[in-house]
Structure 1
């Protein structure tokens, strides 16, 4: 899987100074190097653009890499709401989004994501695109909230669903969330309100469309 992803990244993505600076800022601030891969980021940009999304919700900001990828896909009227547990992560992400030219189009809510999601429900917010890339223990809870907050036909994209290949390869080193991802993938695949497919890019992404 690593070789395949390396090939995809080398052929289909080009060097981007801005995104390299974002990665460097994440590492320089002692944050984990767990941003989406270049090709996964490009897929986020393409999906946002193709779907015509204008109101995007991201669960898990880290340093803003995926946020920039999402924002690149929507137009000047697009908005990104990003949920992040750590205040300092959100601060760096906001700085990086501003450097990328999207400072006026993104807002951050810090603290436990489930609390922020409940707040969005209470406010009657609606979104047409979701990206889940946070603590795996709550993936199913996040999915439920995204469906509640979704416009008809919205897309929900979820990262790390292959858990380093360990969900399918018995020889791959298991992650602490391998079993959680197996269960989550089954849930998404069989959810009555979703039409879904797992794309084996990066660490695996499920792309789900909320049925109309």
Structure 2
């Protein structure tokens, strides 16, 4: 058995034992697949991790960059308390339409606002009077540096920031890579290294989505 098969089988073992009642989330993934959306959602175990992190934080106001079909949005929204809100930014109108239907089916549509358009255009329009206390960035990796800069303007001390797909099967080590996503991630790490506003770490992951990882940061 190769490594990827092993990682996927272990993820399935986790799902069988820890996710016995999450059929709606399986349905969301199936809808996304049938609609032809790219298979780049977080994995179920990663989605549940986001869900638990939101609960641990006690978050009430969440920002997500990169909605896709709403899979991660739903996981996080299900952890919000009464009156909590998740704002999610999506570039593609088709993806946003599918996400909205998925959110309604999951019963969390009243907790979520989808804003359609390039995130670097829509981020500056967000109201700054209520800072976000939990932020998840999972969009075009080449724009990670400006995304981080923008979300920090709408954060407060203690805001939790999660950034997805920062390992890319180890490709972040390729300093001469011509892949704009890799260069964007590397530039973001240089920002984190030199930005005193955040306390950050990163962790590598394996599973059904392969070999990748997250950045976890807290605004000071």
- TM-score, with structure 2 as normaliser: 0.85
Cα distance in 2 between the residues matched to 1:90 and 1:76: 24
Secondary structure in structure 1 of the residue aligned to 2:199: strand
Which of 189, 197, 218 aligns to 1:209? It is: 218
Alignment correspondent of 1:111: 117
Please state how far the C-alpha of 1:77 moved relative to its aligned partner: 2.0
**Structure-2 change in CA distance of 1:98 and 1:184 (3 Å):** same
Cα distance in 1 between the residues matched to 2:6 and 2:183: 24
Alignment correspondent of 1:167: 172
Alignment correspondent of 2:201: 197
Is 2:142–2:185's contact at 8 Å kept on the other side of the alignment? no
The alignment status of 1:151 with 2:153, answered yes or no, reads: no
- The aligned length equals 208
Is 1:79–1:106's contact at 8 Å kept on the other side of the alignment? yes
**Structure-2 change in CA distance of 1:26 and 1:134 (3 Å):** same
Cα distance in 2 between the residues matched to 1:86 and 1:75: 29
Alignment correspondent of 1:60: 66
Cα distance in 2 between the residues matched to 1:205 and 1:64: 19
Is 1:166–1:174's contact at 8 Å kept on the other side of the alignment? no
Cα distance in 2 between the residues matched to 1:29 and 1:150: 34
Q: Which has the higher contact order (CA 8 A, sep 6+)?
A: 2
Q: Deviations over 1:62-82 (max 9, x none)?
A: 000010111122212211101
Please state how far the C-alpha of 1:23 moved relative to its aligned partner: 1.1
Please state how far the C-alpha of 1:6 moved relative to its aligned partner: 2.9
Please state how far the C-alpha of 1:201 moved relative to its aligned partner: 2.4
Which of 7, 15, 18 aligns to 2:24? It is: 18
Structure 2, unaligned runs of 5 or more: 207-211
Please state how far the C-alpha of 1:8 moved relative to its aligned partner: 5.3
Is 2:145–2:184's contact at 8 Å kept on the other side of the alignment? no
Cα distance in 2 between the residues matched to 1:131 and 1:205: 10
**Structure-2 change in CA distance of 1:7 and 1:76 (3 Å):** farther
Secondary structure in structure 1 of the residue aligned to 2:64: strand
Q: Report the RMSD for the aligned CA atoms in angstroms.
A: 2.3
- TM-score, with structure 1 as normaliser: 0.88
Cα distance in 2 between the residues matched to 1:43 and 1:189: 25
